[in-house]
Amino acid sequence: MEVYTENSESETLCAMASKDAAFGRPILYYLYRLIPKQTEKEYYGPYEGSAILKLEHNNNDSLKGNYFTSVHRKGYFDITRRTQSA
């Protein structure tokens, strides 16, 4: 999986799928390397992160969950797959 944002690009280092024991929803354990674009004053350089992402109940194109990084940042991912039209 590749993720592109206005301020960065990331590449997958490792991904492992599982199921949520309580609800049976698919979960993705995701490790990545993020490469920021030098558009912000505060530039960290490349860093690693991890996330636990769950597939949305009614939307198989959406993964959501918390992330943590090696530069002591944390937050929430809301990733939606886009399809390219032919």
- Which of 12 and 20 is assigned the larger pLDDT? 12
Distance of alpha carbon 50 from alpha carbon 66, whole angstroms: 9
Average pLDDT over residues 6-22: 90
Residue 7 has pLDDT above 90, yes or no: no
The string of pLDDT tens digits covering residues 46-72 is 999 999 999 877 777 888 999 999 989
pLDDT of residue 79: 82
- Is there a contact between 15 and 26 (Cβ–Cβ < 8 Å)? no
**Is pTM beyond 0.75 here?**
no
- The Cα–Cα gap between 54 and 57 comes to 9
